[in-house]
Structure formats: structure tokens, C-alpha cells
Amino acid sequence: MNTTFGRRLRAAFDRYGHLCVGIDPHPHLLQAWNLDDSPDGLHYFAMTVCDRLEGTVGILKPQSAFFERHGSSGVAVLEQVIKRCQASQTLCIMDVKRGDIGSTMAGYGWAYLDERSPLRSDAMTVSPYLGTGSLQPAVDCAVDNDRGVFVLCLTSNPQGPEVQHSLCADGRSVALAVAEYARSININYVHTGDDDATQMGPCGLVVGATVGKAVSELGITFDNLHAPLLVPGIGAQGGTAADIVRLFGKASANVIASVSRSVLSGGPNGLVDAATRENDALLAIVN
């Protein structure tokens, strides 16, 4: 690629807004679309989302698990989703939440970020809970291929605080340590001395829209991280565009607002209208 992930993401924001639609072909959604829970149903569902939302949404996020559950046929569909995104110049964030050490973590990076891989995406989600240093092989692969990683930081699920709010030996919360790790990566890829919060490096964070006061209680600020912010929990999970501004302040300009059910549940004929409503609500507040 001839430009960094951060710059491609900014261009997508400028052209299409901050909405990201998850491609989550859960069995109940396939049923709601009157599709068989099969590779053929999966293919129709995923390709329809890609085709209908082209020109409306600049970022799509396939959830790998719902493709993998169909075995090699499902992974083949996932490869087609990636190719379709590439053809339409839609950014593709692969939601895989991989986390391991050494050569295995490098393997995950090669699988989802390396230019030679059929599963190559613009970015992938990763888990830091084997230590932030374990992420380095994936980060290196992202940088080498002008792609990105999104590190789990503060998630909305009720069990998240068990780990994310825990304290490191130095007294920082795990979530704060993860956020500061992202900054340590990103600061190398923005203009020296430039405090513009909207500049984005290759290391993003996953922060739920419904984490509430946890951000301030754990001492996390986002303005100086230069991190893209992948924010699930908008829509069906209860998060709103106003929550984004409260949580992220100036860094709201870096937010990827991820929705799934609120757009997908209306069926194929409702995709564009639902996505447009979600995006308009975001733009009215974030801008």
C-alpha cells in the first residue's frame, strides 16, 4: 500500500463518516433474513451487506468467528468479503481478537495483515492479556504493511473489569497500561512536536461506548494517544453518539463507531436507510 492505515482511515471519515458496520452472520440473523444457516446463506448475507452498503459506509468489520463456524467454506466466504472490500476501497477491520506470543503472534499478523495473505485486511483486533510486549510481532507486521491493529482496552462486557481494572505492579490499571502502550507505538508515526489529537498511528484501541465512568476513574485520557478508537456498543447495546463525545472529547474525531444489529436486523432492504440514520446521528454530534 502507498499510504498508512491512519491516513486511509482519516480519508474514510472525511468521505463517509465514522460509522463501521459489523458483518456478524449470527444464526438468528440468517434466520431473520430467511436464509439457511449454511455456507450459501452466509455468502448471500455477507455479500449483500458489502454490496448494499458500498458508497454509504466506509468501514466494514467482519466477525471471523461467524465465518469460521462453517469451516473451510466459511473462510472462503470471508476471503470473498475481503476481496469485495478491496475492490470497493472499503476499509476492512478483521475482528479476530488474536493474542499469543513470539512466532505464533507473528503468524497471526502474517495471516491478517501481510500483503501476501488471502485474508489480509486493513486492520485486525488483538488481545493484550499475555502482556503488551506479546503484541509486538503483530504491530511490526502492521507497520511493515501499512495496516493497523486494535488492542482490547476497555470493553463493555460485564466481565471485562476483572482484568482491565486490575492494577499492575506499578499501580496503573491494566487498561491504562494498554492505552499507554498504544501511545508508545503511535508517537513514532506522527509529526514530532505536533499535539494534534487527530493524527493517528497504527495502534488503535477497542473501548466500549458503555464503559461510563471507568475512563476517568482509571485515569485514561485519549487526546494524546494518536490512536484510532474502535468503539462498539452503539445502537442495540445502548451506547449513543453523545456518549462518544463524553468519553473521548477531542479524540472523538478518531472514533470508529461500530454497529451491527441495529443495521443488520432490518433485513437486506433496510440496510442503507438504517446505516444512513446511524451515520447522520454520529456526524451531527461528533463533528
**Which residues are tagged catalytic?**
97
CA atoms within 13 A on the CB side of 18: 24
DSSP lists the bridge partners of residue 76 as none
C-alpha span between 120 and 261 (Å, rounded): 25
Contacts of 186 (CB under 8 A, 6+ apart): 200, 201, 202, 203, 225, 226, 227
Name the helix (H) or strand (E) containing 48: helix 39-53
What separation, in Å, do the N-terminal and C-terminal C-alpha atoms of the chain show? 29
Give Rg (Cα) of the chain.
Answer: 18
Residue 30 near residue 42, CB atoms below 8 Å: yes
- With contact defined as beta carbons under 8 Å apart, do 32 and 267 qualify? yes
Task: Return the half-sphere exposure (C-beta side, CA atoms, 13 A cut-off) of residue 68.
Answer: 8
Helix, strand counts (H, E) of the chain = 13, 8
| In contact, 239 and 209? CB cutoff 8 Å | yes
Please give the single-letter amino acid code of residue 280: D
| Alpha-carbon distances of 108 from 96, 113, 116, 117, rounded to whole Å | 9, 8, 13, 11
